[in-house]
């Protein structure tokens, strides 16, 4: 048997919201051995998870509370944790494209005011990293409408969302948003594409009054062109441009200091309110 457990059609697939206290068959777990050895897998009876530090039998953790300490076959200690959306995007997603980093997606959520019940259009779904975070926050009665022009990206996104039990909160369109979007009166319109100015008119038509337009761009020349387009279009106020930098520290009381590497520039974020003109 492979050390990597494989899902079968007979294994129940439980969402993160169903797996809160105890590990059950069909739940996703994060096996934390150390900072370099973190593994996410779905629990199934008879399954095993292997690593260079030993193997873990799934049957040994079914019924245990999340946060439990376990021992691998070699005696090495590990912990069984409930994965966060951040962990799922970082460790579990199949990537067909570059993703929006968690530091940026978290800020986008706040800028757009997204929460339970929000209706959001996302243009440029890619591998659904941002879509996953959006779906998590709009639940249980909100919805995300994703537009992706490349079919291979869309299929990767669909698999990732289905694996996490979030697909029911997302409608995926295999379509080029430049040619129009279907939804109206949405709360936020988020764009991750090389030419966000090309969908500015669609964003204006789709957003409700006081809805928020967000664009994510890796290069400053894109920001300059979009700023010009927003100014020429009218109907948007409160334009802001941000760059989010994250510096992590080594968590040792005796030698607390920044890590030698950091996640610096990944992209620029432009936000603006849609108003009536």
**Worst-scoring range by mean pLDDT, 6-15, 108-117, 142-151, 218-227?**
6-15
Give yes or no for residue 1 having a pLDDT over 70.
no
- Check whether residue 21 and residue 144 sit in a common domain: no
- Check whether residue 136 and residue 79 sit in a common domain: no
What's 78's domain CATH number? 3.10.330.20
The total number of residues written for the chain in this structure: 277
Residues 212 and 204: their CA atoms lie apart, in Å, by 9
Question: pLDDT by residue (tens digit) across 35-57?
Answer: 899 999 999 999 999 999 999 99
Residues 71 and 33: their CA atoms lie apart, in Å, by 10
Question: Domain range spanning residue 259?
Answer: 86-274
Of all helices (H) and strands (E), which one includes residue 61?
Answer: none
Residues 164 and 84: their CA atoms lie apart, in Å, by 11
Pairing verdict, β 143-148 and 48-51: unpaired
- Check whether residue 214 and residue 178 sit in a common domain: yes
- Check whether residue 67 and residue 190 sit in a common domain: no
In this predicted structure, what is the pLDDT of residue 97?
67
Last residue of a domain, one of 83, 106, 123: 83
Mean pLDDT of the chain: 92
Of all helices (H) and strands (E), which one includes residue 111?
Answer: helix 102-112
Give yes or no for residue 6 having a pLDDT over 80.
no
Question: pLDDT by residue (tens digit) across 184-211?
Answer: 999 999 999 999 999 999 999 999 999 9
- Check whether residue 267 and residue 136 sit in a common domain: yes
Q: Tell whether pTM > 0.75.
A: yes
Which residues make beta-bridge pairs with 3? none
Domains identified in the chain, total number: 2
Q: What is the mean pLDDT of residues 7-16?
A: 70
Last residue of a domain, one of 41, 63, 83: 83
| Structure tokens that stand for 215 in this block | 């664009």
Give the residue, 144 or 91, on which the prediction is more confident. Answer: 144
Q: Which DSSP symbol is given to 88?
A: I
- Check whether residue 110 and residue 45 sit in a common domain: no
Residues 31 and 14: their CA atoms lie apart, in Å, by 17
In this predicted structure, what is the pLDDT of residue 17?
81
Nearest Cα residue to 38 out of 58, 53, 59: 53
What's 171's domain CATH number? 3.40.50.150
Last residue of a domain, one of 62, 83, 104: 83
Whole-angstrom CA distances from 106 to 111, 127, 134, 136, 178 are 9, 17, 9, 12, 26
Q: What is the mean pLDDT of residues 1-12?
A: 50
Quote the radius of gyration of the chain (alpha carbons, Å): 21
Sign of CA dihedral 25, 28, 30, 31: positive
């Amino acid at each position: 048997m492979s050390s990597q457990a494989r899902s079968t059609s007979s294994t129940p697939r439980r969402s993160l919201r169903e797996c809160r206290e105890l590990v059950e068959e069909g739940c996703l777990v994060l096996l934390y051995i150390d900072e370099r050895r973190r593994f996410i897998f779905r629990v199934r009876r008879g399954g095993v998870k292997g690593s260079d530090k030993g193997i873990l039998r799934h049957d040994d953790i079914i019924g245990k509370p999340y946060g439990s300490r376990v021992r691998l076959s070699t005696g090495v200690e590990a912990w069984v944790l409930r994965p966060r959306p951040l962990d799922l995007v970082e460790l579990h997603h199949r990537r067909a494209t570059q993703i929006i980093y968690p530091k940026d997606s978290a800020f986008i959520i706040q800028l757009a005011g997204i929460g339970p019940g929000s209706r959001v259009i996302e243009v440029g779904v890619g591998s659904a990293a941002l879509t996953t975070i959006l779906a998590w926050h709009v639940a249980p009665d909100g919805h995300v409408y994703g537009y992706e022009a490349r079919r291979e990206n869309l299929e990767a996104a669909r698999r990732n969302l289905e694996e996490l039990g979030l697909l029911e909160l997302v409608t995926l369109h295999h379509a080029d948003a430049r040619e129009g979007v279907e939804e109206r009166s949405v709360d936020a319109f988020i764009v991750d594409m090389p030419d966000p100015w090309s969908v500015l008119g669609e964003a204006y038509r789709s957003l409700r009054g006081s809805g928020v337009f967000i664009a994510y761009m890796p290069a400053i020349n894109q920001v300059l062109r979009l700023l010009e387009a927003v100014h020429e279009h009218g109907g948007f106020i409160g334009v802001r441009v941000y760059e989010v930098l994250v510096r992590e520290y080594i968590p040792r009381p005796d030698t607390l200091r920044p890590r030698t590497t950091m996640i610096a520039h990944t992209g620029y974020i432009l936000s603006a309110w849609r108003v009536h003109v």
